[in-house]
A and B are shown apart, each in its own frame.
Chain A
Amino acid sequence: MPRDASTDKPLVELVSVTKIYPPDIVALEDVSLRIYKGEIFFLTGMSGAGKTTLIKLICRLETPTRGLIEVAGRDLSQISPAGIQRMRQKIGIAYQDFRLLEKQTVLQNIAMAMEVTYASTKAIRARVDELLALLNLSDKRDKLTGELSRGEQQRVALARAAANGPSLLLADEPTGNLDPAATELVINLFRHLNEKNGSTIVVATHDKSIYAETEHRVMDLRNGHLSAHPNRTPRQIELFEA
């Protein structure tokens, strides 16, 4: 559901953000960006363009070298460590490298995200079963994640990110290891979260198949600079220029 950019307050706002990794690797340069509540936002770009860096900046796993980042109207640099932890409970992040505990089961891995919010065991069970059904992983619930295929691990990572019904979901290359059928499941999960839960979803990807047909915003990172995706549709031009 695309939004009218002029009236809505952005959920995520970056103002002239530059990120330089030591010693002098410029990952992002002077990036300004607004992502609105309820949006599905695609971030594209070649390998090394800075997509992961941008996502890490939004959840404060990295700090910007210069510039301002606000999430839900709050300047991240002003939030205490405890505040950041509370914020992370409301942000679901599916990492490019999954970050799963390989010696724990699928259930345990997903449950962890809800346990830190002190959810009840019953609620956790129900939610995990629901998500696994959506991602066609129901029969893997009690398997160790280390014994799953990459594609399966990727979906477990997504399920964990979605577990708390986050107001913001950051998915870093969520379909990199998936076949078209599984990719479809993931897209459906995003849509489900977006429509049922009002979640804002940011997808960093270079998988054209998931954004080619979309009516949502697609932006391209190139050498640390952000611009509208060159192949955007008229609808996207309209949105982007608003």
Chain B
Amino acid sequence: MHFLAYILRQTGKNLRQTWGTQVMTLLTVTLSVLLFAFFFLIYTNMLRASARLGDDLRLIVYLDQEIPEQKRPEIEKKIRDFGPVEKVVFVSRTEAFSRLSAQLDKEKDVLNDLGPDFLPPSIEVYPLKNLHDLTKISQFSDFLLTLPHAAKVQSGSDWLRRFGDFTSLLQVVVLLSGVLLIISMTFIISYTLRLTVVSRQGELEILRLLGATSAYIRLPLLLEGMLQGFLGSSLGLAALYLLYQWIASRFSGPGFLNLFDFAFFPPELTAAILLAGVVLCTGGSLFSIRRFIRI
């Protein structure tokens, strides 16, 4: 069975005959995949980060005066009556101070001048997970402000809202770059294939006269598109991975990336993007084969 050998040899011949265009096509496919995967990577990380932030969400009620031990159950009951709450923690001035100095660890000397009373007491309210709706949270924080001695409520919901807005903006960018990816890939592949067909027109005509089957003529072209899709997507993903590694190594240590626990795509998602690239390019070549070849 020399069939496969023929198809492969024919594919190689096609690639050699139009190699300049082939390289440009490969670059275009690579860049398209890189662009899309870049935004997609940021997006998936943002999604994960916002899920984590949601887990950490708590409402802090700063008080202008310490609440004595015996009055605490009463206030806690008031809070629980308003809405479902996982837990309520009362933090006194001294507790707040010792927490901060534990956090500062070696630099806790800076606190020496301030004395243990400079931090306000507070109540930390951890809402149940089902309360992670932003409007409900802001209702909750409005309510908490009505508690006796409440001076200020920090809900983090502003920040969460901005984060959410950014995530949905990113969603649009991902969608757009996805559409761009689909268009540019199918377009460039079918354009390149047309060039191949045109450059081989005389040969294709003779092949038809000699009785070449449609598999003999079409499969190499299909394979060409498939190969472009595979190589282009692999290169695009590889480039993104290198970029990711570079960023991760430069910004290692405490900071933005650590906060979000920035991570590369899991293997399945990488494979899915690769597969999508192959499918798109194969589709593009199928399209132009049907348009430009009559056999």
Binding site for B on A (CB under 8 A): 61, 81-82, 85-91, 93, 95, 99-101, 112-113, 115-120, 160
Given contacts A85-B295, A87-B211, A88-B211, contact A118 B206 (CB under 8 A): no
Given contacts A81-B295, A82-B214, contact A88 B2 (CB under 8 A): no
Given contacts A61-B209, A99-B206, contact A115 B214 (CB under 8 A): no
In the complex, are the beta carbons of A120 and B2 less than 8 A apart? yes
Contacts of A61 in B (CB 8 A): 209
Chain B, interface residues (CB within 8 Å), range: 10 to 19
Q: Is the interface of B mostly helix, strand, loop or mixed?
A: helix
Binding site for A on B (CB under 8 A): 1-3, 6, 202-203, 206-214, 216, 295
Q: Which of B6, B202, B203, B210 contacts A118 (CB 8 A)?
A: B6
Given contacts A85-B213, A85-B295, A101-B202, contact A116 B2 (CB under 8 A): no
In the complex, are the beta carbons of A88 and B210 less than 8 A apart? yes
Contacts of A86 in B (CB 8 A): 211, 213
Q: Closest approach, in angstroms, between the C-beta of B278 and any C-beta of chain A?
A: 26
Contacts of B211 in A (CB 8 A): 85-91, 116-117
In the complex, are the beta carbons of A112 and B210 less than 8 A apart? yes
Contacts of A100 in B (CB 8 A): 206
In the complex, are the beta carbons of B2 and A101 less than 8 A apart? no
Contacts of B203 in A (CB 8 A): 101, 112
Q: What number of A-B contacts does a CB cutoff of 8 Å give?
A: 49
Q: Closest approach, in angstroms, between the C-beta of A159 and any C-beta of chain B?
A: 13
Interface centre among A87, A95, A112 (most CB of B within 10 A): A112
For this complex, 25 residue pairs linking A to B, each with C-beta atoms less than 8 Å apart, are: A81-B214, A81-B295, A82-B213, A82-B214, A85-B213, A85-B214, A86-B211, A88-B209, A88-B211, A89-B211, A90-B211, A91-B211, A95-B209, A99-B206, A101-B203, A101-B206, A112-B203, A112-B207, A116-B207, A117-B211, A118-B2, A118-B3, A118-B6, A120-B2, A160-B210
Closest to B207 in A: A116
Q: How far is the CA of A85 from the CA of B3 in the complex (A)?
A: 16
Q: Closest approach, in angstroms, between the C-beta of B211 and any C-beta of chain A?
A: 3
Q: How far is the CA of A85 from the CA of B211 in the complex (A)?
A: 4
Interface centre among A85, A88, A101, A160 (most CB of B within 10 A): A85
Q: How far is the CA of A129 from the CA of B202 in the complex (A)?
A: 25
Q: Closest approach, in angstroms, between the C-beta of B219 and any C-beta of chain A?
A: 12
In the complex, are the beta carbons of A85 and B212 less than 8 A apart? yes
Q: Closest approach, in angstroms, between the C-beta of A25 and any C-beta of chain B?
A: 23
In the complex, are the beta carbons of B6 and A99 less than 8 A apart? no
Contacts of B216 in A (CB 8 A): 116
Contacts of B1 in A (CB 8 A): 118
Q: How far is the CA of A85 from the CA of B204 in the complex (A)?
A: 13
Q: Closest approach, in angstroms, between the C-beta of B187 and any C-beta of chain A?
A: 29
Q: Which of A90, A93, A115 contacts B6 (CB 8 A)?
A: A115
Interface centre among B6, B209, B214, B295 (most CB of A within 10 A): B209
In the complex, are the beta carbons of B206 and A112 less than 8 A apart? yes
Contacts of B206 in A (CB 8 A): 99-101, 112
